[in-house]
Structure 1
Amino acid sequence: MAQATTSQMSGLQLNKDQPIQIESDKLEIKDQERIADFTGNVKVVQGTTTLQAGQMRVFYKAKDAATDGSAPATKAAESATPASGLSSSSADIDRILVSNKVFLTSGTQTATADNGSFDMAKQLFVLKGDKVVLTDGGNVFTGCQLTVQMATGQAQLESCGGRVQIQLDPQSQKKN
């Protein structure tokens, strides 16, 4: 039976008030499919949170006939610049897939994994891999799947058949 641990990871919360900056070596827009593919040294920054990966695929929501008719990916591409990345409303994004060594950091918390997904509607971020590592200061949590509820920062780390490993650093405890 797989083991799991749940924790509060407030540093990995989504901040809707901050702009999002995306950089990559290449951006390919697929209007008909409502997809934007970012490849090569992908870096996404929002406030104090940074996501890095080898590849990121953004799936946009379908637009209804009441809009101006242009696809969200086209609007995103129109605002993209090679240095500053993409500036688009996150309300148009349905989900995001990241792969090829994912690195997520926010404040004192860092998570690494092989791949991940972000569901905008559920505000759910899932990192998976042979070894998913979450660090918070000197504390280290290791498993194979980390699920973070971005609205609340609640995180669950699963072991996928083995056991979750935790290394707690006594120096990380606040002194009174």
Structure 2
Amino acid sequence: MNTAKALLLSILVGIAAFPGSAQLVGNSLRSYDRSAPIDFAADRIEVLETEQQALFTGNVEVSQGTLDLSAASVRVLYDSSRDLSVSRLIAEGSVSVRTPSETARASRAIYDVPRSIVTLLGDVRLARGGDTLTGDRLVIDLNSGSSSIGGGRVTGRFTPASTDTD
């Protein structure tokens, strides 16, 4: 494993293990199909073949199954020795990650495709129905459907289910 990849992996592991984070579980994440094709759209695409990267800029939209991501730019890291398999997406600028029941917004997101982990960083806001959580970091494990938010003070609002019996 090269040094940059090892460093990013250790950062992601450190973020996932951040103490004091709130645990969340999203039903739509449990049914997420990580084997679905990844579709891209952008105003401009620049391929940096020697670096095995592609840079998508301007109104970038990425979708895989029921998971949608939008951002100002997305850098796609790939491995050309394995039929152009995508290893990582790094999204920046007004990032939004959506499932049918949740929306998360942040300044930056890293999607580790082989591990199926999405990490959102910077002014994170997670909304599910009328419930909201905010923090500095949100890690979503698409394998288990669980997520954690932390990286400083976590705030939120949960709306109790109606108990009206009329």
Same fold (TM over 0.5): yes
Counterparts of 1:33 and 1:165 in 2: how far apart (Å)?
Answer: 40
In the alignment, structure 2 segments of 5+ residues that lack a partner are 1-17
The root-mean-square deviation of aligned C-alpha atoms, in Å, is 2.3
Q: Which residue of 1 aligns with 2:129?
A: 137
Given that 2:34 and 2:65 are in contact with CA atoms closer than 8 Å, whether structure 1 keeps it comes out as no
CA distance change for structure 1 residues 169 and 33 in 2, over 3 Å: closer, same or farther?
Answer: same
Q: 1:47 and 1:36, CA in 2 relative to 1: closer, same or farther beyond 3 A?
A: same
Tell me if structure 1 keeps the 8 A contact 2:131–2:159: yes
Distance 1:136 1:30 in 2: 37
Please say if 1:29 is aligned against 2:47.
yes
Unaligned runs of 5+ in 1: 73-91
Greater mean alpha carbon deviation, residues 1-10 or residues 28-37: 1-10
- Equivalent in the alignment of 1:41: 59
State which of 118, 121, 124 in structure 1 corresponds to 2:114.
121
Give, as a single letter, the amino acid of the residue that structure 2 aligns with 1:44.
V
Which of 13, 16, 32 is residue 34 of structure 2 equivalent to?
16
1:154 aligns with one of 111, 132, 146: 146
Rg (Cα) greater in structure:
1
Q: CA deviation at 1:96?
A: 1.1
Alignment-derived partner of residue 92 in structure 2: 99
Task: Tell me which residue corresponds to 1:166.
Answer: 156
Find the aligned partners of 1:26 and 1:93 in 2 and give their Cα distance: 18
CA drift of 1:2 comes to: 6.8
Alpha-carbon offset, residue 172 of structure 1: 7.2
SS in 2 for 1:117: strand
Whole-Å separation in 1 of the counterparts to 2:162 and 2:41: 34
Instruction: Check 1:61–1:98 CA distance in 2 against 1; reply closer, same or farther (3 A cut).
Output: same
Give the length in aligned residue pairs. Answer: 146
The change in CA–CA distance for 1:172 and 1:94 in structure 2 (over 3 A counts) is: farther
Superposed CA deviations along residues 11-61 of structure 1, whole A, max 9, x for unmatched, are 245413433321100000011111011000001122332110000001112
Aligned-partner Cα distance in 2 for 1:96–1:11: 21
Quick check: 1:139–1:172 contact (8 Å CA) kept in 2? no
Higher relative contact order (CA closer than 8 Å, sequence separation 6+): 1
**Share of identical aligned residues, percent?**
29
TM-score, normalised relative to structure 2? 0.79
Residue identity opposite 2:90 in structure 1? L
- Alpha-carbon separation, structure 2, partners of 1:6 and 1:105: 18
Partners of 2:71 and 2:162 in 1: CA distance? 28
On the 8 A contact 1:44/1:52 being kept in 2, the answer is yes
